[in-house]
A and B are shown apart, each in its own frame.
Chain A
Amino acid sequence: MKLKLAALAFCTAAAALPARADITIGVSLGVTGPGASLGIDYKNAYPLMPKTLGGEPVKYIILDDASDPTNAAKNARRLVSEDKVDALMGSNGVPSAIQMAQVAAEAKTPIIVLTPAVLSPAVLHWSFIVPQTTELMMGAIAHEMKNKGVKTVGYIGFSDTWGDLVLKALQSFAGPDGFKIVTDERYARADTSVTGQVLRIIAANPDAVVVGGSGTGGALPQVALVERGYKKTIYHSHGDVNGQFIQVGGKAVEGAVAVTGPLIVPEELPADYPNKAVALEFTQRYEAKYGKGSRNAFAGYAYDGYLLLDAAVPVALKKTRPGTPEFRAALRDALEKVHGVVGTHGVYDMNPSTHTGLDERARVLVHVVNGSWRLMK
């Protein structure tokens, strides 16, 4: 009997062994709630990822946080304490991502942050931010406006963290690039009208307008501005670039200028563009699965998060096995040293002091021509 038990115990232990070696990644995304339109795009990237990370089998546990920061924190806590994940990923929505990063830092687990969140140094130690910083992106817009001789800029953005982030980034260029921000109007995605805000902008008559929205939400101010006869260029943050934006905006968004990652227009990039091949391959696979015109920047962030982990995991595996605190620490160290990883958005050279890895190669200016986003030449 004892022998039997021992044999049984041994077998279970043996059976459990390879399972322990599996890498587990915990993901929390807002696939319902107000951020759902972005969350679904992020989530769509996961079926396109290989079943391995650094050659080891991987399991992604994807939870829905309903775009609620409290839920995101709860999910992160569950993932680190119950599922003992080796790394976290998430979330769409800056406030949710910040909450998750805090939990990750407490639990000494690395986290791939999928939104351009601004984090305190202690939290940043464990966090690695995939998307371009808002400054990097809005810098391209600021530069373009300077070239066009824009002196006054009207701003209209979401009345949330995103609207604040875009405005702050824009303000950081306002002095040096020689333009002045003359309006700070806010609206919500669910607003039925932006007439009041638009009238104020028109009264100020700026040389250009910058919209800080996301997805189809960014189309509303442009449609209203065009309806009221505003003829100058309207610039958009990278949150607005997707196919539905044009569907919703129709003729009114023709000529809109936006900044985005190269994966929106990989076909038009010059052949020697550093990440043309990766971006093109991802876009084609994505559209093959989700339909033509479904390409978007957000799925690319999730996929680049996978690429970062894929590059870091082999280094960490040399030290120890997954599922241990040592592995999580080793993975963090490896992520900090990631260098030259070519992703869908650009080339990632992780910077140990800021934990962001993208540079000017990860931004392109696009504009709407004949109802589609085209690279600005």
Chain B
Amino acid sequence: MSFDISLWLLQDGVTNGSIYALLALALLLVFAVTRTIFVPQGEFISYAALSLALLQAGRLPGVVYVLLGGGLAAAALELAQALRARRWRHLPRRLALYLLLPGAIAALAWWAAPRKPDLAEQVLLVLALVTPLGPILYRIAYQPLAGASILVLFIVSMAAHYVLSGLGLVFFGGEGLRSRPFADAHFRLGVLDVSAQSLWVVAASLAIMLVLWLFFSRSLYGKALRATAVNRIGARLVGVRPELAGSLSFAIAAFIGALSGVLISPVTTIYYDTGFLIALKGFVGAILGGMGSYPLAVLGSLGVGMLESFSSFWSSAFKETIVFTAIIPVLLWRSLTTRQVEDEEE
């Protein structure tokens, strides 16, 4: 293996690794705030990538129906809850959130799709279509079970994953799609030929990480999320509503998933079920980082990207085996060094 090839592989590893890093951050966030292993994260990637490709073809992405249907179901749940508790104060605002907002976005997509808007508008539209799915999913599947054990929440996640990926097959079909690159340009960097798209991926990932850091360290909502992650009961005592924290963390996760989808969609062919595997690698990254620290999760994810690109060069048939086997030593080390803590208090 020559030096040139190592550089190429390094570049490939960093590009994929930064996508995994974004996803690892989202997974960690959701886990810290709601104790949910967020399996359906991957579906947001597929939804966004396929929606972008469809928008570029001038077609209305089927995700609008998921959005409208999900919004309707969430609104029905809110209504039922209000009826049962006979408390109407919050109802109008929540109905607006679950009915009017998705309705407005869907109408916008329906209007814009045949007009083939330019790339920036397409990307914004896709983000607007996919991000609300996070809170809607939280409202339907997780909020009623918020107090359940990690295992129950994980099973809910599996169910949500199958439902969403099934819907993806219905609305996007079985064949893969690929969208046009943001920019066709290539830059020569020594022996490397860096595509503008891969720079986009890395730059966007860095920007999101910076924004997340600012959000969590500066804004009130970010601090509320952090408080919930540190201690749920304590956060509730000081007035952070757990529903809001859950909903917000799911929105951020869905947004990150959608953004990853948009970034990766011109790089490779995305199928309705591709997102799951991508998110799974983000999850491996988070585990390599110990499933607790954000910077370590980013490092772990970059490691996954590298491992993947180098093993695809050396022994491509065993690539996935190598990547997923990497969890085992980390888990062993973790279980030997960490003291068992009771995390099911409340």
CB within 8 Å of B: which residues of A? 31-34, 36-40, 156, 159, 184-197, 199-200, 203, 215-217, 219-220, 227-228, 242, 244, 247-248, 250
Contacts and interface: CB of A to CB of B under 8 A. Distances in A.
Interface in B231-257: none
A190 B277 contact: yes
A31 B277 CA distance: 20
A192 B264 contact: yes
B173 interface: yes
B267 interface: yes
A195 B271 contact: no
Contacts of A220: 268-269
Contacts of B206: none
A215 B317 CA distance: 20
B312 A36 contact: no
Centre residue among B8, B193, B195 by max chain A CB count within 10 A = B8
Interface in B250-308: 264, 267-269, 271-274, 277-278, 308
B144 interface: no
B169 interface: yes
Contacts of A189: 176, 271, 274
Given A186-B316, A190-B274, A244 B175 contact: yes
12 contacts: A31-B174, A32-B169, A33-B273, A34-B273, A188-B319, A192-B267, A193-B268, A194-B312, A196-B12, A215-B176, A216-B175, A219-B269
Contacts of B278: 190, 192
B8 A215 contact: no
Interface of B: 2, 5, 8-9, 12, 15-16, 19, 166, 169, 173-178, 180, 193, 195, 264, 267-269, 271-274, 277-278, 308-314, 316-317, 319-320
State the majority secondary structure of interface residues on B.
helix
Nearest to B8: A199
Contact of A186 (B193, B273, B317): B317
B177 A248 contact: yes
Given A31-B174, A196-B12, A200-B316, 14 more contacts: A159-B316, A186-B317, A189-B176, A192-B19, A193-B308, A194-B312, A197-B313, A203-B5, A216-B175, A216-B176, A216-B269, A242-B175, A244-B175, A248-B269
Contacts of A200: 313, 316
A248 B16 CA distance: 20
A18 B57 CA distance: 51
Contact of A196 (B175, B264, B312): B312
A289 B195 CA distance: 41
Nearest to A163: B317
Contacts of B178: 216, 219, 247-248, 250
Nearest to A40: B174
The 9 closest A-B pairs by CB, nearest first: A196-B312, A36-B174, A196-B313, A37-B174, A195-B12, A186-B317, A216-B176, A244-B175, A37-B175
Contacts of B271: 37, 189-190, 216
B177 A247 contact: yes
Nearest to B264: A192
Contacts of A215: 175-176
A192 B16 contact: yes
B174 A38 contact: yes
Contacts of A219: 178, 269
Contacts of B16: 192-193
Contacts of B169: 32, 36
A72 B216 CA distance: 49
Nearest to A159: B317
Contacts of A227: 195
A194 B180 CA distance: 18
Given A190-B274, A192-B264, A220-B268, A39 B174 contact: yes
Nearest to A184: B317
A290 to B, nearest CB: 11
Contacts of A217: 176, 269
Contacts of B269: 216-217, 219-220, 248
Contacts of A250: 178, 180
A345 to B, nearest CB: 21
A292 B173 CA distance: 16
A188 B274 CA distance: 10
Nearest to B176: A216
B117 to A, nearest CB: 20
Contacts of B277: 188, 190
Centre residue among A36, A193, A200, A248 by max chain B CB count within 10 A = A193
Contacts of B268: 191-193, 220
Contacts of B19: 192
A214 to B, nearest CB: 11
A199 B176 contact: no
Contacts of B312: 187, 191, 193-197
A191 B12 CA distance: 13
Contacts of B5: 199, 203
A203 B9 CA distance: 13
B173 to A, nearest CB: 7
Contacts of B309: 193, 195-196
Centre residue among B15, B268, B278, B310 by max chain A CB count within 10 A = B268
B239 to A, nearest CB: 42
Nearest to B268: A192
B176 A244 contact: yes
B9 A195 contact: yes
Contacts of B308: 193
A195 B176 contact: no
Nearest to B57: A247
Contacts of A184: 317
B243 to A, nearest CB: 33
A110 B126 CA distance: 49
A264 B265 CA distance: 28
Contact of A193 (B267, B274, B320): B267
A32 to B, nearest CB: 6
Contacts of B316: 156, 159, 185-187, 196-197, 200
A220 B12 CA distance: 15
A159 B323 CA distance: 15
Nearest to A224: B268
Contacts of A185: 316
A320 B60 CA distance: 54
Given A32-B166, A37-B174, A220-B268, A199 B9 contact: yes
B8 A190 contact: no
